[in-house]
A and B are shown apart, each in its own frame.
Chain A
Amino acid sequence: ETGVTQTPRHLVMGMTNKKSLKCEQHLGHNAMYWYKQSAKKPLELMFVYNFKEQTENNSVPSRFSPECPNSSHLFLHLHTLQPEDSALYLCASSQDAGGGPDTQYFGPGTRLTVL
């Protein structure tokens, strides 16, 4: 595996379900990110982890819960979601969330549909 991988690629869940999204990066990076991408809207940054520590939480509802057990893996735990949470969830990684270019590399995303 190379780059950034995400599983599952597609997920359909009911509002009462609990599910988790998984992201893994094989780039030796120290920072990982969760983004939400809705149609015709800008990418919304949800969470940032730098050296396994959460450094940003952009007013995300508590029904989204991130977990970063090490600098290569990132999870997004989902529970009691709403239909408006349906979107593409993208994971990204970068060398570290500091200065310089610090280019972010993205996974293919999980297409989430909440019924």
Chain B
Amino acid sequence: GQNIDQPTEMTATEGAIVQINCTYQTSGFNGLFWYQQHAGEAPTFLSYNVLDGLEEKGRFSSFLSRSKGYSYLLLKELQMKDSASYLCAVRDDNYQLIWGAGTKLIIKP
């Protein structure tokens, strides 16, 4: 079967750095997405990786290793507004997105 694993919950301190991991086992691979979802709101697109390596976008970076079936989202200089759930999704061979259950990130002052 297809599976996306990510931690259920993480806690970090304002101003610090946090890394959210995602491992996947899917039938094929056509890109990996990270989305942010604040409570009661729509998921919003953060990043897309299709080749191995690191993609940096401001305070957020996303890394992909296709051979290991692994990605992480790195958040630097954490702010209180970064408290949200972070969703990892992989596009499979049928071009459908397979979603993880999300990681709830709690930022403490």
Contact = CB atoms under 8 A, between A and B. Distances in A.
Interface of A: 4, 40-43, 45, 48, 56, 90, 97-99, 101-109
A103 B45 contact: yes
Interface string B67-109: 0000000000000000000010100000111111110000000
B45 A42 contact: no
A106 B43 CA distance: 6
Main secondary structure of the interface of B (DSSP, over half): loop
A43 B35 CA distance: 12
B64 interface: no
Contacts of A101: 31, 48, 50
B31 A42 contact: no
A27 to B, nearest CB: 12
B42 A4 contact: yes
Interface of B: 4, 8, 30-31, 33, 35, 40-45, 48, 50, 87, 89, 95-102
22 contacts: A4-B42, A40-B8, A40-B102, A41-B101, A42-B4, A42-B98, A42-B101, A43-B87, A43-B97, A45-B96, A45-B97, A56-B96, A90-B42, A98-B95, A99-B30, A101-B31, A101-B48, A103-B33, A103-B48, A106-B44, A108-B41, A109-B42
B108 to A, nearest CB: 22
B99 A42 contact: yes
Given A40-B102, A41-B101, 18 more contacts: A40-B101, A42-B98, A42-B99, A42-B100, A43-B43, A56-B96, A90-B42, A90-B43, A97-B95, A98-B95, A101-B48, A101-B50, A102-B95, A103-B33, A103-B45, A104-B45, A108-B41, A109-B42
Contacts of B98: 42
Given A40-B8, A40-B101, A42-B100, A99 B95 contact: yes
Contacts of A43: 43, 87, 89, 97, 99
A-B pairs, top 10 by smallest CB distance, nearest first, are: A106-B42, A42-B99, A43-B99, A108-B42, A106-B43, A42-B101, A101-B48, A103-B45, A41-B101, A107-B42
